[in-house]
Structure 1
Amino acid sequence: MTTASAPAEPPSVKMTDEAYGALRASHALWAGTSVLITDQHGRVLVQRVGYRPTRLLSGGALDPGESPAQGAARELQEELGLAQPLTRGLAVDWVSPAGRRTSHALRFPGELLHVFDGGVWDEDRIASVRPAPGEIEGVGFVEPADLPALMSPDDARRALSALRARVNGAGPAILEDGRPLSPTLLDRVNAFTRHRAVHHWPWHEGPAPAGLPVRQSWGWIFAPDGRILVLLDPANGAACLPGGTPEPDQDPAATLIREALEEASAHISPAVLLGHLPDREHDAGPCTRVRMAAALTDLGPSRPDPATGQTYVRALATPEQVIELFNWGPGGAGQLTAVHHAPARFGLPRATRQPLTELPDATDLTTL
């Protein structure tokens, strides 16, 4: 029997309005909403409540006649004391009766749960949070990789799927019990399930001071469409840019050429210097980390990095998406500004946001 007829059309099987209404009511589901909020370091806001042993995103059940967006905004106001319109959906999750552990007395029928993007909150907005007394016992920002240990399994899957959808920027993910029906590259590599290294070094454009050793040379390597070559660990999605430690008597540009070929089978144009990040707390003493830019000119078959044995997933991402994969702190914003000026040096366009794209072995760069 079809029960998905348009409201203005009669049911496909002749029955009274009362019978049809009763039939639809017997298929009723719960409806809920939640909000994904991050701080400027990419950490996720979670709440501690007295009625659950696990952490939650802000949100809750919808009131009768309330839209998911209205409900999300109301819950944010009630739980954290902040008014904010919510207009961007990140995920819609069908939570099945088998997908959530509930007491038998609840007779849980399943739930449709919408996840909205609450944005990136700065320190002033975070300081204005006022948790609801008697309901919200505490609020904190945690690394995405900590969500599976802090949340119930289905809540953690949903939050991570929503975070990946935000980075991809292609629209809401459609989930079943927190798992996407059409997994993206970030889903397939389990992005954000490994702790991101905290690299909060200050950004300085131009060359490093004389006498300060260079411990690392990483490259922002631009594909023909203006996106950046980024390397992902296939097991946990941990990201890195091509590059590495200079060999004795090897300059940063030569290091980048060597490492791009070894790590990604990538051939690049002559590199230009963008800037450096002084690291005053390195175990071997003060040093700096150089950032360069180059154009991707050719790509060979994927192969293991001879230094680590790791075979990376090679992907293209916009500069903004690259920043979101790391925890670089305030220095990331300055570096991003320098990166945005680089495409003009190579006659390349500025990248438009789209889901991260894997580069297979047979990639024809002229089609990008």
Structure 2
Amino acid sequence: MTTPSETPESAIENDPWSQGAVTSAETTLQAQMGKVFGYLKGLHATHLIDVGTKLGLFGQLANAPTGLTPEALATTEGLDLKYIRQWCETGCALELLDYEPTSGYRLAPFMDEILGRPDGTFYLGSFPEVHLLVARDYTRYPELFNSGDVYSYQEHDEPFLRGVAEALQTIPRMFLGTVLPNLPELRERLEAGISILDVGCGGGYAIVEFAERYPEVRCVGIDVESTSVRMAQELIRSRGLGERVEARELDGAGLPPDFVDSFDLVTTFLVLHEIHPDLKEAVLDQCVRALRPGGQLLLFDERYPSGPAELRDPSQIYAVMAQWYELTWGNIINTKEEIHALLARQGLRVVAETTFSRFYIVVAEKDPSKPA
């Protein structure tokens, strides 16, 4: 993400941040007040989803497509009826639940996939807890805004690190189920059986998903954060994948010698923006060194708006929000142009790119004639 204060004077005239303005359409005081109250509503909706997830209410409703009365929900889960009734009414007001007088409450369309089935491709039920954990950082913002200091991701406590890793297990499922069909060449490589290095593997969900989906694939995950690596190792053992999948903790000093020119595919899921800006080129260089000639790098990440005109683009506004809530971690979400420039400086050629929801996905290839 580049802002005018970071841009050389010679480039100002070509900098989109120095041109144009973002102005609101004609509105009213009442409408603007409603907008702010809408944002506050979102805070409480996040808590309502988190409570429903932790109490198993969405799961119960997913298993009862015709609906359940508050009495039935309260009895099944052994919960207080007056609280359950209000949870249901509020969920209906938020359009998470529908209501029928004869059958009670049922999940609104597609909410069974989104909130009711933890093993589903599009499950988001664990995301509210993560965002509530992230929100703890806001108590530090006044101090950090004054000092300019950073409170890095790795400095957070274990419940936070585990919560983030567990919530992100949905991301590789989304990639394999929805994005990969749009990348036919990469899919063919996976079906043929390749070796994969996942950089910033977190809890290991990507390497396990790849290995379970493609039995001929071998996967290695690496991370600098020890809690996540332990989670990945536990997951690998629990799935019985130890012969084809492993997770290692690296100290950031560089690739182990046996990694050089050893992988057909290097993947990063929501990792690039978490690498310190001064280290991104070095990390990408290590990714390229790990690739065999002709190997490919898959980046799955956020994409920051390239200029002010895109700040309110519905497809990019979440990247702006992610930059905000990860601001004091020292993270920088790059624009599409910055991502392409980073890849080009490593001698990588972009062979495919696509988008899914808020995410930007790029596949770049190493020169077949150039070993590490």
Greater share of helix: 2
Between 1 and 2, higher relative CO (CA 8 Å, sep ≥ 6) is seen in 1
Scaled by the length of structure 2, the TM-score of the pair is 0.28
Instruction: Specify the structure having the higher radius of gyration (Cα).
Output: 1
Scaled by the length of structure 1, the TM-score of the pair is 0.28
Greater share of strand: 1
